[in-house]
């Protein structure tokens, strides 16, 4: 659950890319229906098949979407940071999701009630246009994650996970336990230990007591699977294209990472 809840700041720049692409009048109206929350590490925003009460627009938090099998095994199908929204099923007309949403990197987010979002989705509205484009990119990323689990090694996927988290983490050192990494990769602790030890021996990262520091990002990128670059390029393209969907006359300044 959120550690702190307060009224959102109305100043600029806006720290979420979707909200930052809105015109001032739209943002000012929407932010009145939101609240700012500080999300704690490993907190569950919602469980699988649970009614989604809120949608979240992350600022510096990073949220992992996790699928759970009948036998209890889990695997990450996507991560959402300041480029997107958590709870896209509400936008698509659903009330639940088969995924679990876990806070991977703690931090701030703006949230609004699902019912309030539904009331804002009007045909041709700025918010609808932005979320449609974001949904297209998110589905592409999820499809790539499925292929990644099937075709790439534990070490490649471990490197990809560390890089993705490193890109979002402030400060650059961050905490991830073996248990959490296992739930993201859908693999056993032994496989994680082997991958971590090898990458550490190569001088690419430091990993002890759950604390991870990337020492050689370029070298780690060479060890990661192609999915890291693919997903990063998808979200980079989203940041470029989303603001172009709306008129620039009143567009909000967005604070990029």
Q: Do residues 143 and 137 touch, judged by C-beta distance below 8 A?
A: no
In a domain, 179, yes or no: yes
Of residues 122 and 178, the one with the higher pLDDT is 178
Q: Using N-to-C axis directions, what is the helix angle for 154-168 and 226-241, rounded to 10°? A: 30
Same domain, 97 and 203: no
According to the model, what pLDDT value does residue 246 have?
55
Instruction: Taking residues 55-79, report their average pLDDT.
Output: 88
The lowest-confidence range among 139-148, 200-209, 237-246 is: 237-246
**Confidence at 257, pLDDT banded by 50, 70, 90:** low
In tens, the pLDDT along 6-24 reads: 888 766 678 898 998 888 8
Same domain, 155 and 89: no
CA angle, residues 107, 112, 115, in degrees to nearest 5: 150
Same domain, 111 and 167: no
Could you give the number of structural domains in the chain? 2
In tens, the pLDDT along 159-215 reads: 999 999 998 876 677 888 888 888 888 888 888 999 999 999 999 999 988 899 999
Alpha-carbon distance 66 to 77, whole Å? 6
CATH number, domain at 188? Answer: 1.10.10.10
Q: Are strands 4-6 and 34-39 parallel, antiparallel or unpaired?
A: antiparallel
In a domain, 145, yes or no: no
Same domain, 171 and 104: no
According to the model, what pLDDT value does residue 124 have?
72
In a domain, 214, yes or no: yes
pTM for this structure?
A: 0.86
Percent of the chain with pLDDT over 70: 89
Same domain, 105 and 160: no
**Confidence at 2, pLDDT banded by 50, 70, 90:** low
The lowest-confidence range among 54-58, 108-112, 209-213 is: 209-213
Same domain, 158 and 116: no
CATH number, domain at 17? Answer: 2.60.120.10
In a domain, 250, yes or no: no
Nearest residue to 103 via CA among 61, 73, 142: 61
Residue 44's domain comprises 4-120
């Amino acid at each position: 659950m959120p550690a702190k809840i307060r009224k959102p700041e109305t100043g600029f720049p806006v720290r979420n890319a979707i909200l930052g692409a809105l015109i001032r009048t739209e943002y000012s109206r929407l932010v009145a229906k939101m609240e700012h929350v500080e999300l704690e590490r490993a907190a569950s925003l919602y469980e699988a098949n649970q009614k989604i009460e809120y949608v979240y627009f992350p600022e510096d938090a990073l949220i992992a979407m996790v699928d759970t099998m009948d036998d209890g095994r889990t695997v990450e199908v996507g991560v959402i940071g300041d480029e997107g929204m958590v709870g896209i099923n509400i936008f698509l007309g659903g009330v639940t999701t088969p995924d679990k949403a876990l806070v991977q990197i703690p931090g701030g987010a703006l949230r609004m009630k699902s019912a309030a979002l539904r009331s804002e989705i009007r045909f041709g509205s700025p918010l609808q246009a932005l979320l449609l484009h974001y949904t297209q990119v998110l589905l592409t990323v999820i499809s790539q994650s499925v292929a990644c689990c099937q075709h790439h090694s534990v070490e490649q996927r471990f490197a990809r996970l560390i890089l993705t988290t490193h890109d979002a983490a402030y400060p650059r050192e961050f905490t991830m336990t073996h248990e959490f990494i296992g739930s993201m990769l859908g693999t056993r602790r032994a496989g994680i230990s082997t991958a971590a030890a090898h990458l550490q021996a190569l001088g690419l990262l430091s990993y002890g007591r759950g604390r991870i520091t990337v020492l050689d990002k370029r070298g780690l990128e060479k060890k990661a699977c192609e999915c890291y670059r693919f997903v990063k390029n998808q979200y980079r393209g989203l940041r470029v294209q989303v603001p172009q969907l709306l008129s620039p006359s009143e567009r909000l300044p967005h604070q990029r990472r």
